[in-house]
Amino acid sequence: MPIDLYVLPFGLIQTYWGMSASAVPSHSDIIKARETPRGSLFLLLLKRPWRSKQRIICIHWATELYGSRYALKSVLLLAVNGASLFLLKHLCACTVVHVVHNSYSHDYPHPRIDRLGQRLLLALADALVAQQKETEQRLVATYPHKRVVYIPHANFVGAYGAPLVRTHGLRARFGFTPSDIVLLSFGSVRPYKKIERFIDALAAQGAARDSRIKLWIVGKGDKAYIEDLKKRAKSFDWVRIDEGFVKDAELPAYFAAADYALFYFDDSELTSGSLILALSYGLPVITRAIAGAEQVRPGINGYLFTNDNELAHILASLPPAPPQTQVIASLQGTDYPSVERRYYELYTSLI
């Protein structure tokens, strides 16, 4: 009998990354992807899934149980979804898998509720998926009696079209000269990404800063945070902020126009899809040494720093970007089929 697989958040299973995390495409005869009704565990409970003998609920972010900017609503959601998940597990014999993306939720306004929700999901999960070796070791030490499996984040090579070759014409399209050193910060612009640390690090160099360096911030997100970045950078002509959503088809051009992608992050971040995306298109990265940067190999596909002094040293002596093909090749072993196979093996072993 096929395994019914329910993935939260609702709709994630339809995306390239989400499908790799659900092992659906190649094994649809064994695993049947089912959409959770409007993303609600309570509505799933009302569907009486115990009629199926084999079912798995895979939850990626704990905030799927309680995420709201309002504290009271968060508490009510946690009570309803927590109870529903408990009943689905113990009454309906559903198996619960949690893919651990963060140590705590990004920019969530109610940390106490977040801690409670995180603990509840970790307690109810039958298996935990760590996307980094470091995270796997921590989870094994913290939950010695739980099934903990290491499955790396799938790369995005070719997901949005073929990588583009860096050309002077492409850079000119975005207003950069051939001699510019373009440092790109892209994706959702939110406080947890700590983009201001790059502005501060470059500003602190003063006259010693390489005049060719251009900090390019691209994306949409938290309006108040974006305004703060604009105020912080208003006197620096080497900072450019392009606010707005970038269409998928345009992503390769942005990556090809830059020399490096920049990532800082606060301590909530364990996995960065944006970092993997940059590497997938041959753009080397400069990133804080978080757990999710385990695929960054200094000098091969980027550089790591652990504090602002190390960041300043890297920015003061930037070498030429590694070859695009070399950066892409560094992701070997994290291709879609390989990651899909690992999830498939996990799911089938749980039933």
> Model confidence over 97-145: pLDDT tens digits?
999 999 999 999 999 999 999 999 999 999 999 999 999 999 999 999 9
Split at pLDDT 50, 70, 90, the class of 6 is: confident
Domains identified in the chain and CATH numbers = 3-154+335-350 (3.40.50.2000), 168-329 (3.40.50.2000)
The confidence score (pLDDT) of residue 108 equals 93
Nearest to 97 by CA among 68, 66, 64, 137: 64
Distance CA 209, CA 211 (A): 6
pLDDT tens, position by position, 314-343: 999 888 899 999 999 999 989 988 888 898
31-56 tens-digit pLDDT: 777 777 666 888 888 776 555 568 89
- Inform me whether the pLDDT recorded for 74 exceeds 60: yes
- Retrieve residue 227's tokens: 């305004």
Token pair for 234: 């208003």
Convert 18-27 to b/e letters by CB count within 10 Å (16 or more is b): bbbbbbbeeb
State pLDDT tens for residues 180-239: 999 999 999 999 999 999 999 999 999 889 999 999 999 999 999 999 999 999 999 999
Burial 245-281, CB ≥16 within 10 A → b, else e: eeeeeebbebbbbbbbbbbbbeebbbbbebbbbbbbb
Nearest to 132 by CA among 286, 295, 348, 17: 295
Does residue 93 register a pLDDT over 80?
yes
The alpha-carbon radius of gyration of the chain (Å, integer) is 21
Inter-residue contact 114 to 104 (CB < 8 Å): yes
Q: What per-residue confidence (pLDDT) applies to 27?
A: 56
pLDDT at residue 37 in the model? 67
pTM: 0.90
Q: Does pLDDT of 23 surpass 60?
A: no
- Of 15, 25, 128, the C-alpha closest to 341 is 25
